Every structure is written in C-alpha cells, then in structure tokens.
Amino acid sequence: MLRAANSVVVLFAFWLLLSGYFTAFLVTAGFACAVAVVAFAWRMEVIDHEGHPMHLGLRPFAYVPWLLKEILKSGWQVTRIILDPKLPVSPTLVRFRPSQRTDVGLVTHANSITLTPGTISVEVGRDSFLVHGLTRESAAGVVASEMDRRVCRFEGQR
Amino acid sequence: MFAAAAVALLVAAALVLVRAALGPTVFDRVQAANTIGTLAVLILSVFGFLTGRPDFLDLALTYGLLNVVGTIAVLKFFQYGDLGDPGEAEEPR
Amino acid sequence: MSLAIDLASWALLVAGGFFCIVGGIGLIRMPDFYTRMHAASVTDTLGAGFMLAGMMLQAGLTLVTVKLALIGVLLFFTSPTATHALARAAMTRGVQPLLADGEGAPSKR
C-alpha cells in the first residue's frame, strides 16, 4: 500500500514536470491519471519490490556519479581505439560469476557493464555473466571489479 | 552554434546509414537503426533549440520511448518469427 | 557570466558532436558485429550525454532542462537494454564473434 501511494506521488510529479501547465482542470486530470495507472498496475500485480524498488532509498544516487566517471574514462579509451589508424582491437569473451543476489542488483550490474563503452553483457544469468570486451584489458577488467563491489553496496550487502 | 551541432549529428547519421546499407547481417542493420534512433532524438532536441520551439522536446521524448520498443519488437520478430516461412500463422510462444 | 555559460555549452555541444561522429566512424571501421556495438555505445552514452548537457546549460533552470534530463535518463536506461537484447539475439542465432585469441564462442548456456 505504501508502495502504491509512493507510485502515485512519483507519477503525479512526472505529469506536472512534463506538462508545465497548472490550471485546475489539468492538475486534477493528472492526479486522476496517476491514480488510474497505479490502479491498473495494482490489478496486474506489478507493483512489487521489482517494479518500484523504493526500498533502495537514495543509495542509487551515490552510485550514478561513479558510473558516469567510468563511462567517461572507458569512452575516451574506445574513442582512441576507433581513431587509431591501426585499429588495435582484440575482442575477447569472458565468463564470470557476479556476486549480487537480488534481481535489481544483477540487472544494475549488467546494465552498467553494457553502458560503459568497451564492454557488453551478452548473456546474463543468476550465476554467470558472459561479457564481450573490445580489448583483452577491458574484458579482464570486469571480473571481480570495483563495479561489482559498488553494485553490491548499492543493493544493500555489506 | 546549434546549427553546427545539428550538422555534426547529420554527418554521424549519414555514417551510420552507410553501415545500415552495407551491414552483412540483419543485426548490423538493427544496430544501425537503433543508433539512428538515438541520433534522431538528439537532432529533434537540437532542432527545438534552433527554431526556439521547446515543444520539440516532447517529440524527442516520445521518439526515444518508441525507439527502444521498436528495436526490441524487430529483434523478437527475427528471433521467434521466420521471414522465409510463410506457412506460420501464429507467433510461437 | 552568460559568456562563460555560452562558452561551456558550446564546448559541450562540440564534444557531443565529435563523439557522435566517432561512433559513426567506428560503426563503419570495426571488423565484426560485436565490435561495432562498442562503437555504437560511444554515440549512445558520450555523444548523447555531452549534447544534452550542452543544451541544459543553454536552457538554464526551466522545465526544458527537466525534459532534457528525462531524455538523458531514458537513453541511459533503454540503450543498454536494447544493446543487450541485440547481442543476445545475435548470439542465439549463431553469429560467431571474431576473437583475438582464436577460440570459438564458449558453450551455449
């Protein structure tokens, strides 16, 4: 119930931000829409810890700046490889075991791997990730990485 | 300034289009289409600034949402449907 | 002050355009499908990120900035999902990756 109420608030804020008009009719309509969407989602039983992970609190916001820094760093490396006349790629596949336990943590880890240029998660499972790296070093860099530890901290493990 | 950004985006889109035309496998083409979608979102937002009409951002937002749904729909079609087999009426689950 | 903001946003827009073109060049130059996806992810993250940041500086603290930020969040959530779906679909359809060390793809599943 708390989750549903929180979803209504978030959706209503989303409506207000996107519309930018604050007449009585539009604000009422926005609130009605937010309630209707949450009611439908309630009937579909998709409002759970996965659909609306509010139990994570503000921890994701501490993870994002570090991820942006990583994206900048590896993006610059990939740019140098692309512009290098010799094109020094050494594509490598690597399989490893992630240490997250919850689905949210696993998805975040896989998405972060794909989001950083130079590494792509090809297969994602509960006990093994298959990652394609643009170079040997970038593929080796995802095994038992700093990212793994940070996602663990973010999903609430010590 | 925004005109220069728009031109850069158009050049990038032209390069990606070359890959979409060359692409040996269908996945290369889907990848190129997805990248063109991302570039189109950026071009729409830049164009909104260029003409001073921020309404274009709503179009960009919608386009971004449709882009990912379209990509995944095409992929699903190529993974489960079969283009060379006309006898199949229902998509297998 | 407004000159400084203009300069910063100009630099960000130029950087964004540069990374978008680099992604396009990479998409043409790379030798096989999987390596091309890495080039495309440069466009998706760095190109889009810098462009949107540059436009946000121009817009200032308005609803336009909020919408640009939403577009950025949307791209950052959806583009890895699409890329992952693409890589997985290609792998299950048997597109073999070009590997530096010569061995084939590891056993499926």
The pLDDT tens digits of the residues spanning B27-56 come to 888 889 999 999 999 999 999 888 888 888
Across chain A, mean pLDDT equals 83
**Which pLDDT score, from 0 to 100, does residue C108 have?**
40
* Whether residue A62 sits in one domain with residue A38: no
Q: Indicate whether A73 and A113 sit together in one domain.
A: yes
Q: What is the pLDDT of residues A72-88, one digit of tens each?
A: 888 888 888 888 888 88
Burial per residue of C39-74, b for 16 or more beta-carbon CB atoms within 10 angstroms, e otherwise:
bbbbbbbbbbbbbbbbbbbbbeeeebbbbbebbbeb
Query: Does the residue A84 lie in any domain?
Result: yes
Same domain, A10 and A65: no
**Do residue A27 and residue A91 come from a single domain?**
no
Q: Is B36 exposed, middle or buried (0-12, 13-18, 19+ CB in 10 A)?
A: buried
C84 domain residue, yes or no: yes
pLDDT tens digit sequence for B73-83: 888 777 766 54
Whether A51 maps to a domain, the answer reads no
Residue A79: inside a domain, yes or no?
A: yes
* Same domain as A142, residue A84: yes
Residue A8 in domain? yes
Q: How many domains does chain C have?
A: 1
Q: What pLDDT was estimated at residue B83?
A: 46
Asked whether the beta carbons of residue B42 and residue C18 sit closer than 8 angstroms, the reply is no
ipTM > 0.85, yes or no: no
B34: nearest Cα among B56, B19, B55, B49: B19
In a domain, C32, yes or no: yes
B11-15, B22-26, C100-104: lowest mean pLDDT where? Answer: C100-104
- Gap between the Cα atoms of B62 and B55, Å rounded: 12
Instruction: Give A92's strand partners.
Output: A133
Chain B positions contacting chain C at CB under 8 Å are 1-2, 4-5, 8-9, 11-16, 18-19, 22, 25, 27-28, 30-32, 34-35, 38-39, 41-42, 45-46, 49, 54, 57-58, 60-61, 64-65, 67-68, 71-72, 75, 78-79
Q: Distances in Å between the alpha carbon of C70 and those of A17, C52, C65, C74? A: 10, 10, 9, 6
Note down pLDDT in tens along chain C; length 109 residues: 688 888 998 999 999 999 999 999 988 888 888 888 888 888 888 889 999 999 998 888 888 888 888 888 888 888 888 888 888 888 887 777 777 765 544 444 3
C54, part of any domain = yes
Residue with the bigger pLDDT between A119 and A61: it is A119
Do both A108 and A82 map to the same domain? yes
The total number of structural domains in chain A stands at: 2
Nearest Cα of chain C lies from the Cα of A99 at a distance, in angstroms, of 19
Same domain, A107 and A39: no
Q: Residue C22: list chain A partners with CB under 8 A.
A: 79, 82-83
Residue numbers in A near C23 (CB within 8 A): 82
Whether residue B88 is predicted with pLDDT greater than 50 in this model: the reply is no
Say whether C99 and A18 touch across the interface (CB within 8 A): no
- The DSSP symbol for B20 reads H
CB of C99 within 8 Å of a chain A CB? The answer is yes
User: From the CA of A51, how many Å to the nearest CA of chain C?
Assistant: 14
Residue A86 sits in the same domain as residue A133: yes
Average pLDDT on A6-32 reads 86
Question: Do A18 and A92 belong together in one domain?
Answer: no
Residue C98 lies in a domain: no
Between CA A58 and CA A67, with CA A63 as vertex, the angle to 5 degrees is 150
In a domain, C45, yes or no: yes
Closest CA to B27 of B73, B65, B78: B78
Inside any domain, residue A50: no
Confidence of residue B57 (pLDDT cuts 50, 70, 90): confident
- CA-based torsion, A17, C16, A80, B27: positive or negative: positive
A78 and A120 fall within a common domain: yes
Q: How far apart are CA B1 and CA A10, in angstroms?
A: 36
Closest partner residue to A122 (CB to CB) among C66, C77, C87 is C87
CB within 8 Å: A89 and C100: yes
Alpha-carbon torsion, ordered C58, C9, B17, C29, to 10 deg: -160
Domain range for C8: 2-92
pLDDT value at A32 more than 90? yes
The range of the structural domain enclosing residue A86 comes to 57-154
Which of A52-56, A118-122, B12-16, C33-37 bottoms out in mean pLDDT, i.e. has the lowest? A52-56
For residues A88 and A16, state if they share a domain: no
Answer whether residue A106 is part of any domain.
yes
Residues A64 and A115 in one domain: yes
In a domain, C97, yes or no: no
Report whether A129 contacts A110 (CB < 8 A).
yes
CA dist B75 and B69 (Å) reads: 10
Q: What is the pLDDT of residue B43?
A: 92
Beta bridge partners of A121: A131
Which A residues in the span 32-51 are in contact with C, Cβ-Cβ below 8 Å? none
Percent of chain B with pLDDT over 90: 23
Q: Is residue C76 part of a domain?
A: yes
Amino acid B68 reads V
**Distance between CA C18 and CA B46 in Å, rounded?**
15
At residue C101, the pLDDT reads: 67
In this predicted structure, which of A115-129, A139-153, C15-29, C73-87 has the lowest mean pLDDT? A139-153
User: Which chains reach chain A with 3 or more Cβ–Cβ distances below 8 angstroms?
Assistant: C
